[in-house]
Amino acid sequence: MTAAPALHLSGSAKISDQLIFEDLDLKIAAGEWTCLLGASGVGKSTVLRLFAGLGDGIDLAGEMTGDPNVALMAQDDLLLPWLSALDNVLIGARLRGEVADKTRAHGVLGRVGLAEHAHKRPGELSGGQRQRVALARTLMEDRPVVLLDEPFSALDALTRSQMQELTAELLVGRTVLLVTHDPGEAARLGQTILIMTQDGLSGVDTPSGAIPRPVEAPNVLQTQAELLLRLRNT
């Protein structure tokens, strides 16, 4: 994997002449987790699309410093139901016409705790297991920039906590932008925490300690409460 870069997006964006955001100045630190929160409709998904190179139809009046080597993990696992977990992990290489590295794919599935489930199709897996396959697929791409669009919001609380911990462990050293509506998730994972509104971005002091921070830590709970109050007032 190449060195993880910093990202930067500034300016205004429109879709079909509708203003999505303006006067934005978003800086994503290299090799760290940045968590982006905000109400629906303020442009968080548009930001992800731009960084992911999926900006067709978005009129950006500004500047963007990104990296073409990105991986995107979405709220839906987007697994192909007729393929096994192993083949879903290998789908990127096959779509690009590359030789599929099955040995490495088995190793990645082992890292997410699914070594014994490689042969199973998505319908035979739980929601948490499917998201682990999606994470393995993301890791298989071995990209220095990882974009996460509410990847754990559909999971139950226990599985969500476990996936937060696993993802933080496996994405160490990468530049990660996590869009989330969950203040607790941001308090656990954010090395930079930003709230996006129609008026721009505002920062929140992050709790001390390495990520993933303990869910019960007083400073995590305090940051979670502060984020919730600020989101209520946006």
The Cα 161–Cα 156 span in angstroms is 9
Domain boundary among 93, 112, 142: 142
**pLDDT band at residue 153, thresholds of 50, 70 and 90?**
confident
Assign residue 201 the CATH number of its domain.
3.40.50.300
Mean pLDDT of 183-204: 94
Same domain, 148 and 122: no
Mean pLDDT of 48-67: 91
In a domain, 74, yes or no: no
209: left (phi over 0), alpha (psi -120 to 50) or beta: left
Residue 6 above 70 pLDDT? yes
Give percent of the chain with pLDDT exceeding 90: 70
With H, G, I as helix, E, B as strand and everything else as coil, classify residue 16: coil
Residue 234 above 80 pLDDT? no
Q: What is the pLDDT of residues 122-145, one digit of tens each?
A: 999 998 899 889 989 988 888 999
Q: What is the pLDDT of residues 68-86, one digit of tens each?
A: 889 998 878 899 999 999 9
Same domain, 126 and 61: no
Same domain, 232 and 169: yes
Q: What is the pLDDT of residues 207-230, one digit of tens each?
A: 999 999 999 999 999 999 999 999
Residue 144 CA: distances (Å) to CA of 67, 121, 148, 190:
9, 28, 13, 17
Q: In total, how many domains does the chain have?
A: 2
Domain boundary among 99, 126, 142: 142
Residue 1 above 80 pLDDT? no
Give percent of the chain with pLDDT exceeding 70: 100
Tokens 């002449």 map to which residue? 17
- Full residue range of the structural domain in which residue 176 is found: 1-69+144-234
Same domain, 150 and 232: yes
**Residue 194, both tokens:** 């930003």
Q: DSSP letters along 40-62, please?
A: TTSSHHHHHHHHTT--TTEEEEE
**pLDDT band at residue 38, thresholds of 50, 70 and 90?**
very high
